[in-house]
Structure 1
Amino acid sequence: MSETQTLIQNRPPSVATLFLERVAATPDAEAYRRPVPAESGEGPDGWKSLTWAEAAARVYAIAAGLMDLGVRPEERVAIAAETSVDWILSDLGVLCAGAATTTVYPTTNADETAFILADSGSRVLIADTAEQLAKVRDHRAELPDLAHVVVMTPGDAADPGDGWVLSLDELEKRGAAYLEQHPTAVTDVVGSLTKDQLATLIYTSGTTGRPKGVRLPHDAWSYMARAIEAIDLLDENDVQYLWLPLAHVFGKVLTVGHIAVGHVTAVDGRVDRIVANLPVVRPTYMAAVPRIFEKVYNGVAAKAREGGAAKYRIFQWATEVARDYARTTQNSMRLTGIAKAPAGLRAKHAVADRLVYGKLREAFGGQLRACVSGSAALAPEIGYFFSGAGIHILEGYGLTESSAASFVNPGEAYRTGTVGKALPGLEVRIGEDGEILLRGPGIMQGYHGQPGLTAEVLEPDGWFHTGDIGELSPDGFLKITDRKKDLIKTSGGKYIAPAEVEGSFKAVCPMVSNVLVLGGGRNFCTALIALDEPAILGWAAENGLERRPYEEVVATDEVRDLITGYVDQLNEGLQRWQQIKKFRILPRDLDVEHGDLTPSLKLKRPVVEREFAGLIEEMYAGAREA
Structure 2
Amino acid sequence: MDFIYDRKKTAVIFKDKEYSYYELIKMAKIYSSLLNVNKEDRVAIYMENRPEYMGAVLGIWDKKGTCTNLDASYGSEQLVYVFNDSNPKYIITSNENIKNAEEAKEKSKSDIIILNVDEIDLSKDIVIEKVSVECLEKEDVAVMLYTSGTTGNPKGVMLTYDNIMSNVDAIKEIKMVTAEDRILALLPFHHILPLSFTVLMPLNFGSLVVILDELSSEAIKQNLQKYKITVVIGVPRVWEMFHKGILGKIKSSSATYKLFKICKSLNIMSLNKIIFKKIQEAFGGNIRFLVSGGAKLDKEICEDFYTFGFTMLEGYGLTETSPIISFNRLDNNVAGTVGTALPGVKIKLEDDGEIVVKGRNVMKGYYNKPEATAEAIDNEGWFHTGDLGQFDGDHLKIIGRKKEMIVLSNGKNINPSDIEVEIMKNTDLIQEVAVTENEKHLIAIVYPNFKVLEEKKIANAKEAIKWEVIDKYNITAPKYRKILDIVIVKEELPKTKLGKLRRFMLKDLLKGISLKKGDSEEVVAEKVVEKKVSTSKELNTQEFKVMSKFIGTLHDEIQIIPESHLEIDLGLDSLDVVEIITFIQNTYGVNISEEDFSRIKTVEALCQYIREKGGNFEEKEINWKKIFEEPVELKMPTSKYVMTTVNLLKPFFNLYVKLQKNTDKLQKNSPVIYVGNHQSMLDAFAFGQTLPKEVLKNTYFLAINIHFEGKLKKYLAENGNIILVDVNKNLKETLKIAAKVLKEGKNLVIFPEGARTRDGELQDFKKTFAILSKELEISVVPFAIKGAYELMPYGKTFPISGEMSVTILDEINPKDKTVEEIVKLTRNSIKEKIYN
Structure 1 counterpart of 2:66? 100
Residue 449 (structure 1) shift: 0.7
User: Closer, same or farther in 2 for the Cα pair 1:574/1:410, shift >3 Å?
Assistant: farther
1:225-244 superposed Cα distances (whole Å, 9 cap, x missing partner): 11111112212221111121
SS of match in other structure, 2:468:
helix
Structure 1 counterpart of 2:795? none
Structure 2 counterpart of 1:549? none
Match status 1:588 vs 2:505: no
Residue 505 (structure 1) shift: 2.6
Residue 319 (structure 1) shift: 5.3
SS of match in other structure, 1:139:
helix
AA paired with 1:599?
Answer: K
Instruction: Please tell me whether the aligned partners of residues 139 and 161 of structure 2 are also in contact (alpha carbons under 8 angstroms).
Output: yes
Structure 1 counterpart of 2:89? 123
Structure 1 counterpart of 2:228? 282
Structure 1 counterpart of 2:265? 324
User: Closer, same or farther in 2 for the Cα pair 1:496/1:133, shift >3 Å?
Assistant: same
Match status 1:604 vs 2:499: no
Equivalent positions of 1:222-261 (< 5 A) are 222-254=165-197, 255-261=199-205
SS of match in other structure, 2:348:
strand
Structure number, greater radius of gyration: 2
Match status 1:497 vs 2:415: yes
AA paired with 2:200?
Answer: V
Match status 1:30 vs 2:15: no
Match status 1:137 vs 2:55: no
Residue 471 (structure 1) shift: 0.8
Residue 518 (structure 1) shift: 1.7
Instruction: Please tell me whether the aligned partners of residues 181 and 230 of structure 2 are also in contact (alpha carbons under 8 angstroms).
Output: yes
Structure 2 counterpart of 1:152? 117
Structure 1 counterpart of 2:155? 212
- Residues 77-86 or 143-152, more deviating: 143-152
AA paired with 1:132?
Answer: N
Alignment partners' CA distance in 2, 1:504 and 1:318: 24
Alignment partners' CA distance in 2, 1:512 and 1:325: 31
Identity %: 26
SS of match in other structure, 2:463:
helix
1:430-474 superposed Cα distances (whole Å, 9 cap, x missing partner): 001100001111111111111111111111221100000001233
Residue 418 (structure 1) shift: 0.5
Instruction: Please tell me whether the aligned partners of residues 491 and 521 of structure 1 are also in contact (alpha carbons under 8 angstroms).
Output: no
Structure 2 counterpart of 1:262? 206
Alignment partners' CA distance in 2, 1:507 and 1:18: 49
User: Closer, same or farther in 2 for the Cα pair 1:201/1:268, shift >3 Å?
Assistant: same
Given the two structures, how large is their TM-score scaled by the length of structure 1? 0.76
User: Closer, same or farther in 2 for the Cα pair 1:93/1:365, shift >3 Å?
Assistant: same
Residue 316 (structure 1) shift: 4.6
AA paired with 2:317?
Answer: G
Equivalent positions of 1:424-435 (< 5 A) are 424-435=343-354
Structure (1/2) with the larger helix percentage? 1
Instruction: Please tell me whether the aligned partners of residues 118 and 142 of structure 1 are also in contact (alpha carbons under 8 angstroms).
Output: no
Alignment partners' CA distance in 2, 1:478 and 1:510: 31
Alignment partners' CA distance in 2, 1:455 and 1:323: 47
Residue 557 (structure 1) shift: 3.1
Alignment partners' CA distance in 2, 1:518 and 1:318: 38
User: Closer, same or farther in 2 for the Cα pair 1:403/1:521, shift >3 Å?
Assistant: farther
Residue 281 (structure 1) shift: 2.4
1:563-616 superposed Cα distances (whole Å, 9 cap, x missing partner): 6333344345543322333323332333xxxxx111222111122331233699
Alignment partners' CA distance in 1, 2:13 and 2:131: 28
Match status 1:462 vs 2:381: yes
User: Closer, same or farther in 2 for the Cα pair 1:392/1:533, shift >3 Å?
Assistant: farther
Alignment partners' CA distance in 2, 1:279 and 1:216: 35
Instruction: Please tell me whether the aligned partners of residues 2 and 132 of structure 2 are also in contact (alpha carbons under 8 angstroms).
Output: no
User: Closer, same or farther in 2 for the Cα pair 1:320/1:117, shift >3 Å?
Assistant: farther
Structure 2: which 5+ residue stretches go unaligned?
Answer: 513-567, 572-757, 762-836
User: Closer, same or farther in 2 for the Cα pair 1:257/1:407, shift >3 Å?
Assistant: same
AA paired with 1:374?
Answer: G
Residue 368 (structure 1) shift: 1.3
Structure 1 counterpart of 2:277? 358
Match status 1:566 vs 2:469: yes
Structure 1 counterpart of 2:29? 60
Equivalent positions of 1:72-91 (< 5 A) are 72-91=38-57
Structure 2 counterpart of 1:579? 482
Structure 1: which 5+ residue stretches go unaligned?
Answer: 1-16, 36-46, 154-166, 306-310, 330-338, 341-345, 546-552, 591-595
SS of match in other structure, 2:210:
strand
Alignment partners' CA distance in 1, 2:171 and 2:213: 23
Alignment partners' CA distance in 1, 2:403 and 2:438: 11
Alignment partners' CA distance in 1, 2:170 and 2:3: 16
User: Closer, same or farther in 2 for the Cα pair 1:403/1:225, shift >3 Å?
Assistant: same
Structure 1 counterpart of 2:552? none
Structure 1 counterpart of 2:342? 423
Residue 169 (structure 1) shift: 2.3
Alignment partners' CA distance in 2, 1:451 and 1:319: 54
Structure 1 counterpart of 2:121? 169
Instruction: Please tell me whether the aligned partners of residues 301 and 510 of structure 1 are also in contact (alpha carbons under 8 angstroms).
Output: no
Match status 1:410 vs 2:329: yes
Alignment partners' CA distance in 2, 1:50 and 1:186: 15
Given the two structures, how large is their TM-score scaled by the length of structure 2? 0.58
- Residues 381-390 or 134-143, more deviating: 134-143
Residue 184 (structure 1) shift: 7.1
Alignment partners' CA distance in 2, 1:459 and 1:521: 36
Residue 303 (structure 1) shift: 5.2
Over the residues paired in the alignment, what is the CA RMSD in angstroms? 3.0
SS of match in other structure, 1:77:
strand
Residue 528 (structure 1) shift: 1.4
SS of match in other structure, 2:3:
helix
Alignment partners' CA distance in 2, 1:207 and 1:423: 26
Residue 145 (structure 1) shift: 5.2
Alignment partners' CA distance in 2, 1:385 and 1:587: 31
User: Closer, same or farther in 2 for the Cα pair 1:279/1:185, shift >3 Å?
Assistant: closer
AA paired with 1:445?
Answer: K
Equivalent positions of 1:434-513 (< 5 A) are 434-474=353-393, 476-513=394-431
User: Closer, same or farther in 2 for the Cα pair 1:29/1:566, shift >3 Å?
Assistant: same
SS of match in other structure, 1:371:
strand
AA paired with 1:74?
Answer: E
Structure 1 counterpart of 2:20? 51
Q: Choose from 506, 528, 545 the match for 2:445.
A: 528
Match status 1:19 vs 2:3: yes
SS of match in other structure, 1:125:
strand
Residue 98 (structure 1) shift: 0.3
Structure 1 counterpart of 2:772? none
AA paired with 1:295?
Answer: M
Alignment partners' CA distance in 1, 2:151 and 2:256: 41
Q: Choose from 373, 385, 404 the match for 2:304.
A: 385
Alignment partners' CA distance in 2, 1:184 and 1:432: 53
1:512-558 superposed Cα distances (whole Å, 9 cap, x missing partner): 32211123772x42211223455x25xx42x3x2xxxxxxx6xx336
Q: Which has the higher contact order (CA 8 A, sep 6+)?
A: 1
Instruction: Please tell me whether the aligned partners of residues 31 and 52 of structure 1 are also in contact (alpha carbons under 8 angstroms).
Output: yes
